[in-house]
Amino acid sequence: VQLQASGGGVVQAGESLTLSCAVSGITMSHYGAGWFRQAPGKEREAVSCISASGTRTTTYYLTSAEGRFAISRDDARNMIYLHMNNLEPTDTAIYYCAVDTIAVIRSTMCSIDDYWGQGTQVTVSS
């Protein structure tokens, strides 16, 4: 199983980025998926998650991301996306994508642990 995250970069506050995660080696529709981030000196946190296809879609958003970020998935292309708008310097971190067959995703929490990508750096300058 491989997850390849891309799309990170250096942007100014207020700008947008879309992160992409290419997944191979699994039938992605069976997996919950999510984006996590880790800033220097801080613990990793879940940014946004989406439940497996074929179930009632459930999404999770970090409070600070709600209204600015949107997660989506394209199971036909084995892709996961994170559309990030109105970026803030506090969004600066390494962003990781992850999938799990037994992901626990609620509107208030996200737990994903099976497979992880290598991360892509997002830097937002003020």
Exposure letters 61-87 (e unless 16+ CB within 10 A, then b): bbeebeebbbbebebeebbbbbebeeb
* Residue 54 banded pLDDT, cuts 50, 70, 90: confident
Alpha-carbon distance of 14 to 85, in angstroms, equals: 7
Kind of pairing between the strands at 120-125 and 9-12: parallel
Taking every pair of C-alpha atoms in the chain, what is the biggest distance, in angstroms?
Answer: 41
The model's pLDDT over 73-108, given as tens digits with 9 standing for 90+, comes to 999 999 999 999 999 999 999 999 999 998 899 999
* Model pLDDT, residue 88: 98
What would the mean pLDDT of 30-38 be, rounded to a whole number?
97
